[in-house]
Structure 1
């Protein structure tokens, strides 16, 4: 048998592609050949954002399959995207495997797929190819999905995933996040009951991959989630991948990064800048966007704010009147930032974040305190980790209309930056996490064992 050849299949969303790309680069550095599967739509975006040829010692190849959606359809509609993927992707992956195996002496020796894409495991099993799964979010979120049958049995949800006690908060064990039924992940993937039911069933089916795969890895660390790791022993923490991949040249970004923000950060004093970024799919209404803008202005602190071109519902950026002129010396606004480099910069004071898992562990890996602004899916659980368990940040309160007001932003920034304890705890957490991916750490050992298995 030739060298190991891995077919890598992430769920087609930015927060999934990035950790898969980080792990793929780390594997390619170990001499393992990778065929990395994006959907055609995302493949084009990754190539455009790169702006240069990709070469991880020639071992990492980007390939693509259709996602089943038409050109203009909205790929942030997770329910719709997932339904189409389920229809077209199994056949496409099978064809791709046949094509690679027919033309390459290095046949595919393992499929490394996203646990959020159970269908990839079914395709691999039909072809008799060994499988490994990567869960790109927190160990706790996976553990929670694995508990779905128990949640039904205990009368917390019905068979469609509808919460039966909407406002009763609960914890599965003392050192795990607080759960609010109204924020269950599957409820945020679509507005109609049929989409919710589809996503609920989809998540339940994905659980099967955890039982069948040869390896299950998670982009987390034992230090961050000791309790959750102990409760699902089959799943092995291998992260944070962003901390392990310090010098990766390719992040799998869907947007071009604006490198000028790093030069701008160089001109700011240490620990002075508020970094504001909401990931790849958060969308604001105009009122909320304007409150955020005015809140940043009110802090009178320097800020670096990532404003994607599609961040406002149906409108292009709509700043308050005169805002850009007034803050021209205070803030820098970019459309996408090299986030890991930004968070590692000495001038950053705190991170206003949607608390997606990648952003959460990138902040933690760099010892940065948080202001939490969760919007959907697992972001509320991650907020609970940051606020309730690790105690490295604050929550932002919403008014009766659900808006976070400018005064709230100013007040919380002052409290967070004015309290040294947050920074101290954040730095302690950073040291634990860095140790985990360093030589001989827990995550490092898992990675090396996985590489040995792939090569055996």
Structure 2
């Protein structure tokens, strides 16, 4: 497992206040004893990237990831998916688009939102940005409409994108992400390098795996005001896309992920093990 700053442990970084952090720790203390009641733990990961961590779990685990939803299946989402972005991606050059999405809970203030918007423009690359309705504090729909007009023809802003289909699209070059685990596994499965911008909870640990252990991404760094500047965003996107080592490791990890879920792969075998366990009980 990678090293991690103690201040970024999941139960410490979950909340922005001491009250919320205490509530998280209490929840862990209350919940953890229930593990003793389980026969197994089901994990959205695969042995090739987390064998050591899986081996140290207190009870046996089955690793059946990376999970991928069938394109034809109905799935639950917090917001309606805007599939028009897929047609927009079709019109972009292969390996050219910066995809940006921060999950369901990340919240930016107005200053950070502006820096992100300016940074995406500074890259000079086409970008697809998912901005859900409650993404930023104190920013109205008028600002977003104005930004859409300004970047028309260069970037596309949607409220919620069909992420797995976006990440599998050949025009996507990289993923600016909050480093949530589902997003991480989806990017690994599709071989997309990551620019990590964690917000809370396990996302900082996930970033350590992505950047320090697997070597398939880079971290953004905030300035003295705790703001990630537009120049930092531009520079890190360029570094990420120009790093041949990251590109090679990303493709290698994609191959391992695909092999794990193929017939006879480690995740396929663990899925069979899980089915047999359910039948026995």
What's the TM-score bracket when you normalise by the shorter of the two chains? Answer: over 0.9
Match of 1:208 in 2: 33
2-structure distance, mates of 1:386, 1:318:
36
Q: What root-mean-square deviation, in Å, do the aligned CA atoms of Structure 1 and Structure 2 show?
A: 1.8
Uncovered stretches (5+) of structure 2, i.e. residues with no partner: none
2-structure distance, mates of 1:395, 1:291:
16
Which of 57, 71, 87 pairs up with 1:263? 87
The answer on whether the counterparts of 2:62 and 2:271 sit within 8 Å (CA) in structure 1 is no
Structure with larger Rg: 1
- Per mean C-alpha deviation after superposition, the further-off stretch among 441-450 and 180-189 is 180-189
Match of 2:278 in 1: 454
Higher relative contact order, chain-length normalized (CA < 8 Å, sep 6+): 2
Corresponding position: 1:184 with 2:3: no
The answer on whether the counterparts of 1:290 and 1:320 sit within 8 Å (CA) in structure 2 is no
CA shift for structure 1 position 454: 2.0
Which of 384, 395, 413 pairs up with 2:219? 395
- Show CA shifts across 1:275-299 (max 9, x none): 0000001000000000000000011
CA shift for structure 1 position 191: 4.4
Match of 1:442 in 2: 266
- Show CA shifts across 1:335-367 (max 9, x none): 000000000000000000000000011001000
Match of 2:135 in 1: 311
The answer on whether the counterparts of 1:290 and 1:319 sit within 8 Å (CA) in structure 2 is no
Local SS of the residue matching 1:421: helix
Local SS of the residue matching 2:21: helix
Uncovered stretches (5+) of structure 1, i.e. residues with no partner: 1-175
2-structure distance, mates of 1:249, 1:323:
33
Alignment of 1:292-311 (within 5 A): 292-311=116-135
- Show CA shifts across 1:388-447 (max 9, x none): 011011111100011100011111111111222222211110110111111111111111
- Show CA shifts across 1:370-394 (max 9, x none): 1110011000011111110110111
Which of 149, 152, 163 pairs up with 1:339? 163
The answer on whether the counterparts of 1:272 and 1:302 sit within 8 Å (CA) in structure 2 is yes
Alignment of 1:347-358 (within 5 A): 347-358=171-182
The answer on whether the counterparts of 1:273 and 1:348 sit within 8 Å (CA) in structure 2 is yes
The answer on whether the counterparts of 1:371 and 1:396 sit within 8 Å (CA) in structure 2 is yes
Alignment of 1:54-453 (within 5 A): 176-232=1-57, 234-242=60-68, 245-247=69-71, 249-317=73-141, 319=143, 323-453=147-277
- Show CA shifts across 1:209-239 (max 9, x none): 2221122111111112122122226122121
Please, what TM-score do these two structures have when normalized by structure 1?
0.59
1-structure distance, mates of 2:35, 2:130:
36
CA shift for structure 1 position 259: 0.4
Does the C-alpha gap of structure 1 residues 190 and 381 become closer, same or farther in structure 2, counting only changes over 3 Å?
A: closer
1-structure distance, mates of 2:201, 2:212:
18
The answer on whether the counterparts of 2:148 and 2:157 sit within 8 Å (CA) in structure 1 is no
2-structure distance, mates of 1:335, 1:191:
25
